[in-house]
Chain A
Amino acid sequence: MNFVITMPIKYIGRTTTFRGKSLWEIVGNLKDFGVGRMVVRSNLERYPEPSYMRVVKVEAVAKNEGIRRVQVWVEKVFRGRKYPNPIKIFLASYKKDYRLIPKDEEEVYAKGTKPAESSSYEDRILPPTLPMPPLIVELNKAILLRKGIVKEVETTLPLEIQQGQANRARVADSAEKATVKIGQVACERLYEGIK
């Protein structure tokens, strides 16, 4: 008779938002260290667009550089957009947040399972100006007064957005209309009864 003894799993410590395995746990068990396979960070699965990575190259690291870490170069797709160059994952490789996608599911996963109608990623257009903080307005007024200059004080603050791979938002042109309204309350419930 075979006895299969399964110990009950008891989790210790604080819970995390991570779900899955560390990168080495996945990559170290695969043929050719999983080059060409699809790996996902479950952290990024909250977005409607698909985010995934394809392993390009794997290098083990010395023990003193972190026993759970591994150097992995991946082709990253973030919210349906592929990065132009492969990126290296090293510092975050220990995080138990990676998941291997089986080969037969890769195609489906890359298409994205969620409907794209909620995608606000590409069309986040911000207004070109914000209201100037009142303290700065008062300060500018005082400066002008001291210098004896009679001039209108600037009450709008020009807005510049630093764009990157992860930030596709942009400032509206003169012809465009902003889709993001600054100062629009997202939860009316919290402001009930406040005058």
Chain B
Amino acid sequence: MFSRINPGLLINLQSTFGRDCNPFLGTFLQSVRWARKPIWAPVAKSKLFRIPERKKLPEDEALELRRLYNEYRTHCKAVRQLICKEYAASVEESPSVINSRIDDDLSQAIKLNEEWNKEVAAIREERLTLEAEIEREKNLQYMIRAEQENEEQIKLLDEIVKAEKEKSTTFITPDNLDEAIEFALANPVDYNFAIDLKGNIVYGRKGKFEEVLMKQVEELNEKQVAASSS
């Protein structure tokens, strides 16, 4: 509600609109602008289809009103033109002054821009040198590692070649094919084996546990002999 209150207006409202606006009965504060009902409230049902009569003003009165309004508007326009002119005169400057100001602004801006460019260039230079250093270091490390890996690879290959060469002495060739056949026939290989509950293994299809046991005994004896002699 409105905190601003005009007692004279309230009394006036009371006399105009009745006791609803009486400052001494109930509501003390009243909306000043919309005294009776809010402006957004719809038209009352009883007034919905009311057609107000067209007001008729006496001709001389209308003429006088029109004259007053016309003169008021003319006056207002003249005042506005005066104020506009005064303002325009107060801010008016010669073109040379404006141009020189523009030039000054431009040169100042260019100077500032160059300064900034220098600063940025210094920062960029520093960053680029640092980056180049890091890049060179990285490349060096990479090259060293690659060389090492290469050497290791060569070494590995050499070993493989060496091993293969050693192995090649035992290869079966057409020259020693007969010997190999004879050797194979003379030394048959038997991959079969048997195992007992104690974990003793007997190789060969014709192997015997007794032989294994004997061997174990011999080994034990040898160990004992070795232990006593030392």
What residues make up the interface of A, taking CB atoms closer than 8 Å to B? 13-15, 126, 130, 133, 136, 157-160, 182-187, 189-190
Report the nearest B residue to A191, measured CB to CB.
B64
On whether the beta carbons of B78 and A157 are closer than 8 Å, the reply is yes
Contact of B61 among A158, A159, A187 (CB under 8 A): A187
Is the C-beta of B79 less than 8 angstroms from some C-beta in chain A?
A: yes
Given A158-B81, A182-B71, 10 new contacts (CB under 8 A):
A15-B54, A130-B78, A157-B75, A158-B82, A159-B74, A160-B77, A186-B64, A187-B63, A189-B60, A190-B64
Is the C-beta of B67 less than 8 angstroms from some C-beta in chain A?
A: yes
Contact of B64 among A15, A130, A187 (CB under 8 A): A187
Assuming A133-B79, A160-B78, A186-B67, is B52 touching A14 (CB within 8 A)? Answer: yes
Is the C-beta of B9 less than 8 angstroms from some C-beta in chain A?
A: no
Assuming A15-B54, A133-B75, A182-B74, is B82 touching A157 (CB within 8 A)? Answer: yes
What residues make up the interface of B, taking CB atoms closer than 8 Å to A? 51-52, 54, 60-61, 63-64, 67, 71, 74-75, 77-79, 81-82
B79 to chain A: which residues have CB within 8 Å? 133, 136, 157
A187 to chain B: which residues have CB within 8 Å? 60-61, 63-64
Assuming A157-B82, A158-B82, A185-B64, is B75 touching A13 (CB within 8 A)? Answer: no
A13 to B75 alpha-carbon distance, docked (Å):
38
On whether the beta carbons of B52 and A160 are closer than 8 Å, the reply is no
Chain A contact residues, majority secondary structure: loop
A14 to chain B: which residues have CB within 8 Å? 51-52, 54
Q: How near does chain A come to B168, taking the closest CB pair, in angstroms?
A: 101
A13 to chain B: which residues have CB within 8 Å? 51
Chain B contact residues, majority secondary structure: helix
Q: How near does chain B come to A164, taking the closest CB pair, in angstroms?
A: 14
A136 to B75 alpha-carbon distance, docked (Å):
12
A190 to B61 alpha-carbon distance, docked (Å):
8
The 19 listed contacts between A and B (C-beta, < 8 Å) are A13-B51, A14-B52, A126-B74, A130-B74, A130-B75, A133-B75, A133-B79, A157-B78, A158-B81, A159-B74, A160-B77, A182-B71, A182-B74, A183-B71, A184-B67, A186-B64, A190-B60, A190-B61, A190-B64
On whether the beta carbons of A160 and B64 are closer than 8 Å, the reply is no
Report the nearest B residue to A160, measured CB to CB.
B81
Assuming A14-B52, A182-B71, is B78 touching A158 (CB within 8 A)? Answer: yes
A157 to B61 alpha-carbon distance, docked (Å):
28
A192 to B61 alpha-carbon distance, docked (Å):
13
A133 to B51 alpha-carbon distance, docked (Å):
42
Report the nearest B residue to A154, measured CB to CB.
B82
Q: List 5 A-B pairs, minimum CB-CB distance, nearest first.
A: A187-B64, A187-B60, A186-B64, A186-B63, A186-B67
Among B52, B60, B77, B82: residue with most chain A CB under 10 A: B82
Q: How near does chain A come to B67, taking the closest CB pair, in angstroms?
A: 5
A159 to B54 alpha-carbon distance, docked (Å):
37
Report the nearest B residue to A126, measured CB to CB.
B74
A158 to chain B: which residues have CB within 8 Å? 78, 81-82
A2 to B10 alpha-carbon distance, docked (Å):
68
A182 to chain B: which residues have CB within 8 Å? 71, 74
Q: How near does chain B come to A146, taking the closest CB pair, in angstroms?
A: 16
Q: How near does chain B come to A141, taking the closest CB pair, in angstroms?
A: 15
A159 to chain B: which residues have CB within 8 Å? 74, 78
A187 to B65 alpha-carbon distance, docked (Å):
9
Report the nearest B residue to A157, measured CB to CB.
B78
B77 to chain A: which residues have CB within 8 Å? 160
